[in-house]
Structure 1
Amino acid sequence: MKKIAILGASYLQLPLVQKAKENGLEVHCFAWDDDKAVCKDIADHFYDVSVLEKDIILKECKAIGIDGILTIATDICIPSIAYVAHNLGLTGNSIECSLLTTNKSFMRQCFRENNIASPQSVTVSEFNAKDFESFAYPLIIKPSDRSGSLGVIKVTSLEECKKAIENAIQVSFSKTCVVEEFIKGKEVSVETISFKGEHLIITITDKEITEEPYFVELAHHQPSAFSEEIKNRIREVSYHILNATKVENGASHIELMITDEGKVYPIEIGSRMGGDFIGSDLVQLSTGFDYLQAVLDIALNQYNLPESVPSAAYSGVYFLSEETEFLLPVIKSDNQEKYIVKKEILSHGLKPAHSSNDRSGYLIYKSPDHKIILK
Structure 2
Amino acid sequence: MRKLMILGAGISQLPLIQTAKQMGLNVVVVSRQGSYPGFALADKIYYEDTTHADKIVEIARLEGINGICTTGTDVAVKAIGKVADALGVSGVSYEAAKLSSNKWEMKQAFLEYGVRTAKFVKVTSKEEAYHAFDALSPPLVFKAVDSGASKGIVKVSETGQVDYAFEEVMKVTKLDFFVIEEFVEGIEFGAQAFVYNNSIQFVMPHGDLMFYGDTGVPIGHYVPYELPDMVEEDIRYQLEQSIRALRLNNCAINADFILKDNKVYVLEIGGRAGATCLPELVSTFYGFDYYEQMVRAALHMSPDFQIHSSQPCACELLITDTDGEITELEDGNERHADIIQVTFDYKVGDKVRKFRVGTDRVGQIIVKGNDLEEALKRLEEVKGKIKIASM
Change (3 A) 1:221 1:331: farther
Aligned to 1:26: 26
- State the Cα distance separating 1:22 from its structure 2 match: 1.3
Residues 322-351 of structure 1 deviation map (CA, whole Å, 9 limit, x = unaligned): 57xxxxx99621424442111134357997
Q: Distance in 2 between matches of 1:43 and 1:201?
A: 30
- Name the structure 1 match of 2:181: 180
- Work out the CA distance in 2 between the residues paired with 1:194 and 1:9: 24
The answer as to whether partners of 1:318 and 1:364 remain within 8 angstroms in 2 is yes
2:376 matched residue in structure 1: 372
Q: Following the alignment from structure 1 to structure 2, what is the Cα–Cα distance between the partners of residues 31 and 357?
A: 16
Deviates more, 1:311-320 or 1:176-185: 311-320
Deviation at 1:284, TM superposition (A): 0.7
1:313 aligns with 2:317: no
| Aligned positions of 1:53-132 closer than 5 A | 53-128=52-127, 129-132=130-133
Q: Distance in 2 between matches of 1:267 and 1:196?
A: 25
Query: In the aligned structure 1, how far is the partner of 2:259 from the partner of 2:33?
Result: 41
Alignment-mate amino acid for residue 376 of structure 2: I
Identity %, equivalent residues: 27
> Is 2:238 the partner of 1:237?
yes
Q: Which one of the candidate residues 357, 360, 363 is aligned to 1:361? A: 363
Q: Over aligned residues, Cα RMSD in angstroms?
A: 2.2
Deviation at 1:305, TM superposition (A): 6.0
Residue 133 of structure 2 contacts residue 159 of structure 2 at CA under 8 Å; is this kept in 1? no
Contact 2:100 2:270 in 1 (8 A): yes
- The answer (yes or no) to whether the contact 1:190–1:201 under 8 Å persists in 2 is no
Structure 1 range deviating more: 296-305 or 115-124: 296-305
Provide the C-alpha distance between the structure 2 equivalents of 1:241 and 1:123, rounded to a whole number of angstroms: 20
Cα deviation, 1:67-108, whole Å, max 9, x if unaligned, reads 111111111000011101111111112111001111111111
Partner AA of 1:164 in structure 2: A
Q: Flag the 1:367–1:178 CA change in 2: closer, same or farther, 3 A.
A: same
Letter in 1 for 2:155: K
* Equivalent in the alignment of 2:45: 46
Within a 5 Å distance, the mapping from 1:208-357 to structure 2 comes to 208-211=209-212, 213-259=214-260, 261-279=261-279, 281-303=280-302, 306=305, 309=307, 311-321=309-319, 332-347=331-346, 353-357=355-359
Cα drift, residue 117 of structure 1: 1.6
Match of 1:154 in 2: 155
The separation in 2 between residues aligned to 1:321 and 1:56, in whole angstroms, is 35
| Contact 1:165/1:177, CA 8 A, preserved across alignment | no
Structure-2 separation of matches of 1:40 and 1:360: 19
Do the aligned partners of residues 201 and 187 (structure 1) sit closer, same or farther apart at CA in structure 2, a change above 3 Å counting? farther
Q: CA deviation at 1:131?
A: 4.3
Q: Take 2:246 and 2:49, find their aligned partners in 1: how far apart are those partners?
A: 26
What amino acid sits opposite 1:294 in the alignment?
Q
1:131 and 1:322 mapped to 2: Cα distance? 35
8 Å CA contact 1:122, 1:132 repeated in 2: no
**Equivalent residue pairs, number:** 366
Per-residue CA distance 1:42-76 (angstroms, 9 max, x = gap): 01001111112222221221121111111111110
Larger CA deviation: 354-363 vs 51-60: 354-363
Match of 1:6 in 2: 6
Question: Residue 75 of structure 1 aligns to a residue in which SS?
Answer: coil
Q: Unpaired segments of 5 or more residues in structure 2?
A: 322-327, 381-391
> Is the aligned partner of 1:201 residue 2:202?
yes
- Cα deviation for residue 310 of structure 1 reads 5.7
Shift of 1:246: 0.6
Deviations 1:9-33 (A, max 9, x none): 1111111111111111111111112
Letter in 1 for 2:311: A
Quick check: 1:331–1:344 contact (8 Å CA) kept in 2?
no
SS in 2 for 1:353: coil
Aligned to 1:17: 17
> Cα–Cα, structure 1 residues 50 and 333, in superposed 2: closer, same or farther, change >3 Å?
same
Q: Which residue of 2 aligns with 1:326?
A: none
Q: Please tell me the residue identity of whatever aligns with 1:372.
A: L
1:43/1:230 CA distance change after superposition, 3 Å: same
Distance 1:33 1:139, change over 3 A: same
Contact 1:216 1:353 in 2 (8 A): no
Name the SS for the 1:39 alignment partner.
Answer: helix
**1:292/1:186 CA distance change after superposition, 3 Å:** same
Give unmatched runs, 5+ long, in structure 1.
324-328
* Corresponding letter in the other structure for 1:166: E
Distance change (3 Å), C-alpha of 1:289 and 1:208: same
- Using the size of structure 1 for normalisation, the TM-score is 0.91
The 1-side partners of 2:119 and 2:66 are apart by: 42
CA distance in 1, matches of 2:7, 2:265: 31
For residues 276-322 of structure 1, the C-alpha deviation after alignment (integer angstroms, 9 at most, x for no partner) is: 1101x11111111221122111111222565x636521111122335
